[in-house]
Chain A
Amino acid sequence: MIQERRTEELHGVLGMERRNFMPFVAAAGVLLLLLAGAVIVLYNEQTYREAKTQQVEAQSRILASTVSAALAFDDRKAAHEYVKALAVDPQIQTAAVYGPQGQLFASYSRSADVALPAKISEAAPTPTGEQLVVTTPVRQGMAPLGTVYLQTTIDPISRRFERYAVLALLVTMASLIFVMLGVAQRQLAAANERLRRQGHDLVDANEKLRAQIEQRETAEAALRQVQKMEAMGQLTGGIAHDFNNLLQVIIGSLEVLQRRQQVVGDDAKRTIAAAVRGAERAATLTQRLLAFARRQPLNPKPIDVNKLVTGMSELLHRTLGESITIETVLAGGIWRVNADANQLENALLNLAVNARDAMDKGGKLTIETANTHLDEAYAHTNEIDPGQYVLIAVSDTGAGMPGDVLSKAFEPFFTTKDVGKGSGLGLSQVYGFIKQSEGHAKIYSEPGEGTTIKLYLPRFMASSEATDLPLEACGLPAGQSDRLVLVVEDDADVRAHAVGILNELGYSVLEAADGAAALQALDAHPGIKLLFTDVGLPGGLNGRQLADEARRRCPNLLVLYTTGYARNAIVHQGRLDPGVDLITKPFTFAALATKVNAVFDGREGSHRASAL
């Protein structure tokens, strides 16, 4: 490429020089030719005149020599014969011999109208126009005897120029060749220039094409990644949902056992507790799987990220230990974001744990917040919406990640930690949560240089106050028997577990396996106060539809949803509808007790909200 360009430039330079010089060279050549032709003509002319002069002088001298005796002995007849002998030269116009006193002695004239000087004085040969006059003294021995006078015509200019016609023709032809060469050269240069320009265009087009291909490849890679994550999400989501149901049964059963203290001994209690802990850990894992699958129910509220990070500092210090310093760089005037505060804390905690594990020998964890704008190009490449985002960047000074690890870092169950040390779900939770919150997560890392993970959450534009309402569990609020609860759940074990808890809490409980049965129960028992329904139901009506129909019949009915994961029926784009109460499976005895009580207590507010 560089070589090509250089060659091209070289060509350009040469082409330029040729273009600039060639016409001048041609013109100069023509000029030189013409000049040379003129010089040759002038030289020839001069040579011709000199030769002619010499010739005439020779003739004159011969005459002078031969006529000397005739002159000396006054023999006009002989002199006349000598003079007349010159008539054979057609160019001689006049020949004459003058005596020692300059008087005419003998003469010959080709035509009558040639005037002869009556007397002669010796003079240099004087070519005048087309005439050449030569005089030569006649001597014999040392004695001057007289003068010979010769007048000749030189070739008329027309005849002389006939001789130069060939030369002129040659010069003209050479000039023409020069001119044609110049023209041809010029056209060639122009053609070269066009070719060069086309070559440039081609290179540009090629460059553009290459850029497009690269862009497309990048986009395709990103898309593949997204699709892969999507596929993984569906897979993990499906498994997690089923697991949640199973865990609900396990946990519920274990809790039943725990509460029946009279039946079990201490040893059995410890065993049951261990089983519950295990089940709860399994539940946490499935929660994370759901988070990655973006199917965890979120409860987004407008939150101040700076406040959230500040609030986490104590927790982070405890998590990271003494060897790691924490620095927070919080931008002033930070925008608010609409996100689930608990899940965001979870995500930051996950990142902090990962950072700690990357910094064996200590280091520094930096959390920065900033207002940013993601432009069209970046947004397009990463399949998000362009616009204003709040950035939370978590950087460590740890080992960093090589490229191949980086590309898989967000995938579930991918971990570089030793077996048993990490679940491989930490970053997956972060990724799923951020995606579900319509944000964007990006990892920057170089081996040995540390890692920065940037979380972008969309700016929240509404003006309502940020309200953090931590859900406090305060004892186990007991139920009241006049509060009739209808439990709708297709899974018999789960339904039995839920019914068992509610009964134990003191609520009156009815149960139904699907929507139709539930509606019949509602019609049969107008005293039902609370509908506790699974979101996913068989038999045509899902939980949401059932609730809507039930509310239509009994407007004051309270509704509490439960789900392994939340589908769009209840969660629009992964978010809880305002005014909808939900408890996720698997739920504990205490969680359900608190939630149901809350629903009954918050009756007024939630009812108003749902009516809206």
Chain B
Amino acid sequence: MRRKARTVAAVRLLLVAIAACLLSLAATHARAQTPSVEYAVKATYLYKFAPFVEWPAGAFEPSDPLVICVVGNDPVADLVDEAVKGQAALGHPIEVMHPGASSPDARCHILYVALRGAAAASLLERVRGKPVLTVTDAANEPRATGIVNFVVQDNRVRFEIDLRAAAENHLVISSKLLNLASRVSPKP
């Protein structure tokens, strides 16, 4: 049963990836990326950040799953559940939660903020100092940014990294990830 489920998940991921690839190829040619693909990519990136981030000791119990919390509603938030299905990160299964904006789950390891304005800022303020990788989207709210902030450049999904915010949340970001970031602030 499990194997069958995993196989199904793998096939699904494969399809998504192929689709992404084909789309990205197409985008390269077309020099344009359709919004839906952009959201799918962002949703996929959420769990892909996990291997490049070092949480402080105690943030994970060996049996704990990696918890991705999605707060708010946007096209990305809707796709996250789909994207992480069957995936694992750092040996942990991935669990997606959709807590309310007022009470994000304390177990969140990655928090995707799909809120705008003051709500986003207050949510970000609330998890400051906790070992949570906060991810925001500049397309949603350019002014309230977390540790990682999606941007789109040359029709490609890129991200900026705020090292100070990461340090406040006791997270260490892999230099490999920093190398890929379109902007790292402050300069390391």
Contacts and interface: CB of A to CB of B under 8 A. Distances in A.
Report whether chain A binds chain B. Answer: yes
Interface of A: 65-66, 68-70, 72-75, 78, 99-101, 103, 140-143
Given A69-B179, A142-B90, 10 more contacts: A68-B176, A69-B174, A69-B176, A70-B176, A70-B179, A73-B48, A74-B24, A100-B17, A142-B91, A143-B89
Contact of B21 (A72, A73, A78, A99): A99
Given A74-B20, A101-B18, A66 B176 contact: yes
A141 B91 contact: yes
Contacts of A75: 180
Contacts of B88: 142-143
Contacts of A69: 52, 174, 176-177, 179-180
A78 to B, nearest CB: 6
B48 A72 contact: yes
A142 B87 CA distance: 11
Contacts of B18: 101
B142 interface: no
A371 to B, nearest CB: 131
Counting chain B CB atoms within 10 Å of each CB, the highest count among A66, A70, A78, A140 belongs to A140
Contacts of A78: 179-180
B17 A140 contact: no
Contacts of A140: 51-52, 176
Nearest to B176: A69
A141 B24 contact: no
B180 A141 contact: no
List the 8 closest A-B pairs by CB distance, nearest first: A141-B51, A69-B176, A140-B51, A141-B90, A72-B48, A142-B91, A69-B180, A75-B180
Interface string B54-70: 00000000000000000
A143 B17 CA distance: 15
Given A101-B18, A141-B89, A73 B51 contact: no
27 contacts: A68-B176, A69-B174, A69-B176, A69-B179, A70-B176, A72-B48, A73-B48, A73-B159, A73-B180, A74-B20, A74-B24, A75-B180, A78-B179, A78-B180, A99-B21, A101-B17, A103-B21, A140-B52, A140-B176, A141-B50, A141-B91, A142-B88, A142-B89, A142-B90, A142-B91, A143-B87, A143-B89
A507 to B, nearest CB: 175
A59 B133 CA distance: 32
In this complex, which of A68, A72, A78 has the most chain B Cβ atoms within 10 angstroms of its Cβ?
Answer: A72
B44 to A, nearest CB: 9
Interface of B: 14, 17-18, 20-21, 24, 41, 45, 48, 50-52, 87-91, 159, 174, 176-177, 179-180
B41 A74 contact: yes
A386 to B, nearest CB: 126
Contacts of A100: 17
Contacts of A143: 51, 87-89
Q: Which of B51, B52, B89 has the most chain A CB atoms inside 10 A of its CB?
A: B51
A441 B179 CA distance: 137
> Which DSSP category, helix, strand, loop or mixed, fits chain B's interface?
helix
Contacts of A141: 50-51, 89-91
Contacts of A99: 17, 21
A101 B51 CA distance: 19
Q: Of B20, B87, B89, B180, which is in contact with the most chain A CB atoms at under 10 Å from its CB?
A: B180
A99 B25 CA distance: 14
A143 B47 CA distance: 11
B63 to A, nearest CB: 15
Nearest to B177: A69
A400 to B, nearest CB: 127
A54 B180 CA distance: 29
B113 to A, nearest CB: 20
Nearest to A68: B176
A544 B45 CA distance: 169
Nearest to A140: B51
A100 to B, nearest CB: 7
Contacts of B159: 73
A72 B51 contact: yes
A422 to B, nearest CB: 143
B176 to A, nearest CB: 4
Contacts of A70: 176, 179-180
A72 B87 CA distance: 13
B117 to A, nearest CB: 28
Nearest to A69: B176
A101 B11 CA distance: 11
A184 B51 CA distance: 76
Contacts of B17: 99-101
Interface centre among B45, B89, B179 (most CB of A within 10 A): B179
A142 B50 CA distance: 11
A344 B123 CA distance: 170
A510 to B, nearest CB: 175
Contacts of A101: 14, 17-18
A101 B18 CA distance: 9
Contact of B45 (A65, A66, A73, A142): A73
B60 to A, nearest CB: 12
Most chain A Cβ neighbours within 10 Å, of B87, B176, B177: B176
Contacts of A72: 48, 51-52
B160 to A, nearest CB: 13
Nearest to A82: B179
B38 to A, nearest CB: 12
Contacts of B41: 74
A488 B120 CA distance: 195
Nearest to A74: B24
A69 B179 CA distance: 8
B4 to A, nearest CB: 21
Contacts of A142: 51, 88-91
Nearest to A73: B180
A286 B98 CA distance: 175
B34 to A, nearest CB: 16
Contacts of A73: 45, 48, 159, 177, 180
B68 to A, nearest CB: 15
A68 B50 CA distance: 13
A65 B176 CA distance: 9
Contacts of A66: 176
Contacts of B45: 73
A69, A75, A99 interface centre (most CB from chain B within 10 Å): A69
Nearest to A105: B21
A65 B89 CA distance: 17
A253 B177 CA distance: 174
Contacts of B90: 141-142
A66 B52 CA distance: 12
A457 B78 CA distance: 159
A100 B87 CA distance: 13
